[in-house]
A = this chain, B = another copy of it.
Amino acid sequence: MAVYTEVPDDELAAFVARYGIGDLLAVKGIAEGVSNSNFLLHTTQAFFILTLYEERVDAGDLPFFIGLMEHLARRGLICPLPVKDRDGQAVGQLAGRPAAIVTFLDGISVRRPNVTHCAEVGRGLALLHQAGADFGMERVNSLAVPGWRPLAEQAGAAADTVSPGLGRRVMAEIEAHERSWPQDLPRGVIHADLFPNNVFFIKDRLSGLIDFYFACTDAFAYDLAICLNSWCFEADASFNLTKGQALLAGYESVRTLTPAEVGALPQLCRGSALRFLVTRLVDWLNVPPGALVKPLDPLEYDRKLAFHQRVTDARDYGLKR
Interface members, chain A 37-52 (any B CB < 8 Å): 40, 42, 47
Closest to A12 in B: B108
Which residues of B are found within 8 Å of A31, using beta-carbon distances? 4, 28-31
Complex-state Cα separation, A276 to B23, whole angstroms = 35
Count class of interface residues, chain A: 20 to 34
Tell me if A56 is interfacial: C-beta within 8 Å of chain B: no
Q: Which of B27, B202, B294 contacts A25 (CB 8 A)?
A: B202
Q: Assuming the A-B contacts A1-B292, A9-B111, are A28 and B32 also in contact, with contact meaning beta carbons closer than 8 angstroms in the complex? A: yes
Tell me if A110 is interfacial: C-beta within 8 Å of chain B: yes
Asked whether, in the complex, the Cβ of A106 is within 8 Å of the Cβ of B40, the reply is no
Tell me if A107 is interfacial: C-beta within 8 Å of chain B: yes
Complex-state Cα separation, A42 to B104, whole angstroms = 11
Which residues of B are found within 8 Å of A47, using beta-carbon distances? 42, 47
Q: Assuming the A-B contacts A8-B111, A31-B31, A112-B8, are A106 and B26 also in contact, with contact meaning beta carbons closer than 8 angstroms in the complex? A: yes
Min distance, Cβ A121 to any Cβ of chain B, angstroms:
15
Interface members, chain A 75-112 (any B CB < 8 Å): 104-108, 110-112
Tell me if A310 is interfacial: C-beta within 8 Å of chain B: no
Tell me if A179 is interfacial: C-beta within 8 Å of chain B: no
Asked whether, in the complex, the Cβ of A108 is within 8 Å of the Cβ of B4, the reply is no
Min distance, Cβ A197 to any Cβ of chain B, angstroms:
11
Min distance, Cβ A103 to any Cβ of chain B, angstroms:
12
Which residues of B are found within 8 Å of A23, using beta-carbon distances? 202-203
Tell me if A24 is interfacial: C-beta within 8 Å of chain B: yes
Asked whether, in the complex, the Cβ of A30 is within 8 Å of the Cβ of B30, the reply is yes
Q: Assuming the A-B contacts A1-B292, A40-B40, A292-B1, are A110 and B28 also in contact, with contact meaning beta carbons closer than 8 angstroms in the complex? A: no
Closest to A201 in B: B9
Asked whether, in the complex, the Cβ of A27 is within 8 Å of the Cβ of B108, the reply is yes
Closest to A30 in B: B28
Complex-state Cα separation, A20 to B110, whole angstroms = 23
Asked whether, in the complex, the Cβ of A9 is within 8 Å of the Cβ of B40, the reply is no
Tell me if A6 is interfacial: C-beta within 8 Å of chain B: yes
**17 A–B contacts from the bound complex (CB under 8 Å):** A6-B111, A8-B111, A9-B108, A9-B110, A9-B111, A9-B112, A24-B108, A25-B106, A25-B107, A25-B108, A26-B105, A26-B107, A28-B28, A28-B31, A29-B31, A31-B31, A40-B40
